[in-house]
Structure 1
Amino acid sequence: GFRIPEVLETSGAKLVEVGATNKTHLQDYAEAICDQTALILKVHRSNFYLEGFTGEPHMTEISSLAHDHDIPLVEDLGSGAIMNTDQMAPIDHEPTPQESLRNGIDLVIFSGDKLLGGPQAGIIAGNADLVARIKSEPFFRAVRCDKLILTVLQECIDDYLACKGESRPPIPVLDCLSTSVEELRGRAEEITSQLADLGSPVTIVDAVSRTGGGTMPKAEIPSVALEIESVGVSHEELARRLRAATPPIVGYVHEERFLLNLRTVFPSQDQHLARALLELLQ
């Protein structure tokens, strides 16, 4: 992948790191500002976390400092969460672009995929004048999204706008996050009832899901999985046969058990899954 310091260096900018790994104070930012300071960049820890004796100033404090010195403040959120993640699942709250802008950020950068749920893309939002300056940069033409990406992203954003923040838009990643364990267990019972006579026993077990995709590394969402006992073959061979099925079925091995986590299966796929398992395992 590409590390942010390397990306900045290729632009000709000089990166000045602020504070220490675990604790950074507002004074650290103030002491790093000089006549050559072009912007302050704050990168959210979206794909890793720090624990222990940690601390950092609130974004409103950094915003006030930046604006007192007439310096743009940019925040890279990474994950692209638009909805309140803690209201969809028993996980932490992931900062949103809306919150960043309310905190006084001039530009906020986030992904169009991941927790936003659209196509793989990078989004820059905020101060209209700064956005216009970015678009006028000749290099922007080389990295801009193509028409297909923009079309899919527009459809995704339209779903959010149609809900007006009053409900959850019908976006797959949000459906996967917010489905209750009770609903998953009901679906699992319906599937296993069709597989009762299989030679390879299929049972319902508790499981854990993660958001993945470089977001919320601490988040563990209670889930339900189908455990398939591999009779006469290894877990690896069972996994290979399922991947080669039509449709392909992708599971994983955890603690010497082969599991199919239903949080990653759409309800409309349940019958396809049951039929494929019947054909492969009987």
Structure 2
Amino acid sequence: MVESDPRRSIPRTDSLLSLPEVIAAGENLSYATIKSIIAEAQSAARAGEITVAEVAPTIISRLGSSSASSLTPVLNATGILVHTNLGRAPLSPAAQQAVLDASGYVDVEMDLVTGKRSKRGTGAKAALLRACPAAGDALVVNNGAAALLLAVTALRGRGSAAGSTVGTDLAAASDPAVVSSAVSPTEIIVSRGELIEIGAGFRLTDLMTTTGARLHEVGTTNRTHLTDYANAVGPRTASLLKVHTSNFRVEGFTSSVQVSELRGLADDHSLPLIVDLGSGLFTHDEALPDEPDIDAALRAGADVVIVSGDKLLGGPQAGLILGRREAVQRIATHPLARAMRTDKLTLAALEATITHTGNPVHDALHIDLDELRRRTETLAEAVGATVVPHDGRVGGGGAPGVPLPGWAVELPEDCAAALRTGDPTIVTRVHQGRCLVDLRCVPASEDDRIAAAIARVLAANG
């Protein structure tokens, strides 16, 4: 006699939905979520991954541990401050509180005194202008790529024939009658050495050409001169663009053109000068002496400067556009600006990040090295491991190649996966057959949890 397939006895969905624990979970989880968890357990039983007897307990366990989001909080023990795969900049306590406060109804577009509609993001803009007095105006959009796309689309000078000084100012260039009287300005002049590709194969060149613009590349990979830009200016020139090569460095026989030099050329031909800095420093930071900052770029003559909010600024994902008032206003009033505007949670977090002192990225960049070494040695002693020198990095397209000296606890390589899938979830660096635990970006309050997790992993590995 052929034995009956035990999978035929997998509990039916309606019977599983009637379990008391499942009914109780319905107070917090949606019906669709619960049904999905049930279906996954039933499928696992059919595939032989769990037994029929384990179906109900598996469902109950998953319902008990299920959260509103599939995102898992992690402890960043890689030594990389702005880790793109881990969400870039972690928000400061003040920014987290601001997001919580803004999660309900807030006066994002209402004047509470008059009861009438007001402009969105006035608080965040005011904070930006206080932090960067060189800027005449500011605009916040949803990310850095959006800010660049919007800027090169909205800011288009008329351009002029090479060698001519005939042109228009920014205000006149927005007049359709003026623009129609000249050849359509579609060329963006940019150095070949600044045509960058960022994460996941995303290229800024592809982004800009979606606007209908044509990139006029000048110079070479390693050397570009002011005359290269000047010789490229013609009737179709729309703007001059300078991009900070924030995720790589070219060393040796190199030459590039400074913003102040480009300002003179832009004035000669009434062209907008757009500078994309990416990483988001307001002012010079001695810890990163070669990293350009917004204030310096504006004072050197940029019409607008573009940066990301979630890099060295240490805030939420956002694209920040700061610069001359008339230039920013042209960008803000462009139809695309409405499609790229940011939400109340981002505005709240950004304002709090700027107005309050300190945030996790800043703290990790300027960490007390004596204290970091003490913490690292204490952790190593607690788990019976070794301390080794380890250089952290800014990451996220900031200060490429600049080491942040420090230390790490050295563990066997196979510890990395176990720590990454454990509780708490700890992401470490795997390098040259070693698992390295760097505490630079880890709050000191988490050191004991990390020690306990490492001890469990080492014990399990024998």
Q: Which residue of 1 aligns with 2:315?
A: 118
Q: Which residue of 2 aligns with 1:244?
A: 421
Match 1:59 to one of 222, 238, 259: 259
Q: Which residue of 2 aligns with 1:271?
A: 448
Residue pair 1:242, 1:250 contacting (<8 A) in 2 also:
yes
Match 1:206 to one of 389, 395, 401: 389
Match 1:146 to one of 334, 343, 350: 343
**Aligned-partner SS, 1:263:** coil
Alpha-carbon distance between aligned partners in 2 of 1:10 and 1:276, rounded to the nearest angstrom: 48
Alpha-carbon distance between aligned partners in 1 of 2:320 and 2:259, rounded to the nearest angstrom: 20
- The TM-score normalised by the length of structure 1 is 0.86
1:24 matches 2:224:
yes
Runs of 4+ in 1 over 4 A off after TM superposition: none
CA drift at 1:83: 4.5
* RMSD of Structure 2 on Structure 1 (CA): 1.7
Q: Which residue of 2 aligns with 1:215?
A: 398
CA drift at 1:35: 2.6
Alpha-carbon distance between aligned partners in 2 of 1:83 and 1:63, rounded to the nearest angstrom: 20
Residue pair 2:283, 2:296 contacting (<8 A) in 1 also:
no
- The TM-score normalised by the length of structure 2 is 0.54
**Aligned-partner SS, 2:390:** strand
Equivalent position amino acid for 1:118 in 2: G
Which has the greater radius of gyration?
2
Residue pair 2:283, 2:295 contacting (<8 A) in 1 also:
no
Q: Residues 118 and 150 from structure 1, CA distance in 2 versus in 1: closer, same or farther, beyond 3 angstroms?
A: same
1:183 matches 2:183:
no
Q: Which residue of 2 aligns with 1:129?
A: 326
Alpha-carbon distance between aligned partners in 2 of 1:114 and 1:278, rounded to the nearest angstrom: 33
Q: Which residue of 1 aligns with 2:205?
A: 5
Alpha-carbon distance between aligned partners in 2 of 1:110 and 1:93, rounded to the nearest angstrom: 16
Residue pair 2:379, 2:409 contacting (<8 A) in 1 also:
no
CA drift at 1:245: 2.1
Residue pair 2:283, 2:294 contacting (<8 A) in 1 also:
no
Q: Which residue of 2 aligns with 1:107?
A: 304
**Aligned-partner SS, 1:262:** coil
Unaligned runs of 5+ in 2: 1-200
CA drift at 1:73: 0.5
Q: Taking every aligned residue pair, what percent have the same amino acid on both sides?
A: 45
The higher relative CO (CA closer than 8 Å, separation ≥ 6) is in 2
Residue pair 1:117, 1:171 contacting (<8 A) in 2 also:
yes
CA drift at 1:13: 1.6
Alpha-carbon distance between aligned partners in 2 of 1:25 and 1:189, rounded to the nearest angstrom: 50
Unaligned runs of 5+ in 1: 160-168, 196-200
**Aligned-partner SS, 2:391:** strand
CA drift at 1:70: 1.4
Match 1:257 to one of 434, 447, 454: 434
How many residues are matched? 259
Alpha-carbon distance between aligned partners in 2 of 1:181 and 1:73, rounded to the nearest angstrom: 40
